[in-house]
Structure 1
Amino acid sequence: MTATDRTPADLLRSALAADPARPLVTFYDDATGERVELSVATFANWVAKTANLLQDELSAEPGERVALLLPAHWQTAVWLLACSSVGVIADIGGDAGAADHVVAGPGQFEAGLACAGSRIALSLAPLGRRFPTPPAGYADYAVEVPGQGDRFQPYAPVDPEAAAVIVAGAEFTGAEVVERARADAAGFGLTGPGSRLLSGLSYDTWEGLGAGLYAPLATGASVVLCRHLDQLGEDAVAKRIESERVTATKR
């Protein structure tokens, strides 16, 4: 958002300063009918709480690796920015056995048990509901995060040149994430504030991360993030594009 932004967390701070009320992430799950819209301010609050959980409760330190065993989802986007805020590495779909911490969703709990460190489970249920009983070996994110602080301050400044994200086996520093997000924006059809990108891509590739979070954040735009979009017919997709005032799509 500004020329001095060097990390994804910087981009979020600039977005918050520019227009906290504008939509940032609108999430659909077309398998459940869920729709969630988060303004910049609401999204940033979730990020602050999650970063406090990482830093204070899980004792995560800069340079440690967090395996995110999660799909494209608004809560995954929150975790990506929380990791950037703390300075830990977000490893998308990474090897839990090699990670210091793991954050897992349904279908990934068994794999996540390979992590010897802290383990957080997300139900990914509508409204971020708690588990009736958390998976064995995990703490429930929906139980742990509400009590965390609404403001976050890292114990040490985050190094823009340190590793920030690993996706599809490729490692990117915070500065590289920002640079690539800005470079990708034009190709995604994002021209600045008011642009609205509908993405049906998963988060397991750079393109999916760029379209589904980083490029909109870097340009003052917003994203309509759709999980299970393939369950909709073309007429329904067209209606969503119209109703959400979408200006560009990546599917």
Structure 2
Amino acid sequence: MSPEGLLRDALSTDPARPLVTYYDDATGERVELSVATFANWVAKTANLIQDELGAQPGDRLALLLPAHWQSAVWALAGWSTGLVVAPGGDPAGADVVVAGPETLEAARACTGDRVALSLRPLGGRFPTPPEGFLDYAVEVPGQGDRFDPYAPVDPQAPALAVDGAEYSGAETVRRARETAAGLGLTPGSRVLTGLGWERWEGLAAGLLAPLAAGGSVVLCRNLDRLTPEQLEKRRTEERVTHTV
């Protein structure tokens, strides 16, 4: 199994349950996506990758993004299309780069396709599209709600580049399950994390381990703006079982 298989399992088990709850404590934004809603975003994004960008299995996708619900969508969409997902990866060595407002200049080192995310509330568009980039919020709404890859994803092919190493899809799933077990995650566990995704620890806590365990994640950006009292209130209100 590759990582996108974990999402298929979640979709077949309980599509209505929350999967990703996102907070930005600099803007006050809160977004909650059920498994079904998240999977719909993944399908649309995968269709964009496959049909509009023309990326091929084995191509490298550099994600120059903070921990964000759209980062999670792009990671699963990349795996659904057989790409090698590289959080924080070198854009100069990538076939496709996805960047937020703070990393647009770095992303220009990519000679392939460039996609820009405004990271505005509700997935809003850029007021002015960045030159040399596709605006994700403009391109994705018209994509299909179902995704079928032109070729089956090979679980043994490279799927993730992180911490200076590459892992196949099957290895990524195995590591996700091992991390979930190490954290004590079980079905229904709810993980709160503010870690970035450039390292395995952040990527696992913010997406892969909860998904592998049948749990969910409360993904927080700018978490350092909260007081201890506010953080504890969030843990209580969001029924958090684990904090990483």
Corresponding residue for 1:218?
A: 212
Measure, in 2, the Cα distance between the counterparts of 1:123 and 1:188: 33
Query: Structure 1 residue 88: deviation in Å?
Result: 0.6
Per-residue CA deviation, residues 47-81 of structure 1 (Å, 9 max, x unaligned), is 00000000000001000011111010000000000
For 1:82-121, what aligned pairs fall within 5 Å after superposition? Answer: 82-121=77-116
For 1:172-183, what aligned pairs fall within 5 Å after superposition? Answer: 172-183=167-178
Corresponding residue for 1:34?
A: 29
Per-residue CA deviation, residues 148-203 of structure 1 (Å, 9 max, x unaligned), is 000000000101011111123221111111101111112223122x2111111111
- Runs of 4+ residues deviating >6 angstroms: none
Q: Aligned letter for 1:238?
A: E
Contact 1:25–1:225 under 8 Å retained in 2: yes
Measure, in 2, the Cα distance between the counterparts of 1:91 and 1:211: 16
Query: Structure 1 residue 92: deviation in Å?
Result: 1.1
Q: Identify which of 159, 162, 187 aligns with 1:164.
A: 159
Corresponding residue for 2:70?
A: 75
Measure, in 2, the Cα distance between the counterparts of 1:239 and 1:78: 27
Number of residue-to-residue matches in the alignment: 244
Per-residue CA deviation, residues 198-239 of structure 1 (Å, 9 max, x unaligned), is 111111110101100001111110000111111101100000
Tell whether 2:236 aligns with 1:242.
yes
Tell whether 2:140 aligns with 1:149.
no
Structure 1: which 5+ residue stretches go unaligned?
Answer: 1-5
Corresponding residue for 1:125?
A: 120
Measure, in 1, the Cα distance between the counterparts of 2:184 and 2:122: 31
- Give the TM-score of the pair, scaled to structure 2: 0.98
SS in 2 for 1:197: strand
Structure 2: which 5+ residue stretches go unaligned?
Answer: none
Query: Structure 1 residue 20: deviation in Å?
Result: 0.3
When the two chains are superposed, the root-mean-square deviation of aligned CA atoms in Å is: 0.8
Per-residue CA deviation, residues 130-155 of structure 1 (Å, 9 max, x unaligned), is 00111111010000000000000000
Contact 2:117–2:135 under 8 Å retained in 1: yes
Measure, in 1, the Cα distance between the counterparts of 2:127 and 2:136: 13
Q: Identify which of 4, 10, 15 aligns with 1:9.
A: 4
Tell whether 2:208 aligns with 1:229.
no
Contact 1:189–1:247 under 8 Å retained in 2: no
Q: Aligned letter for 2:164?
A: G
Measure, in 1, the Cα distance between the counterparts of 2:238 and 2:13: 22
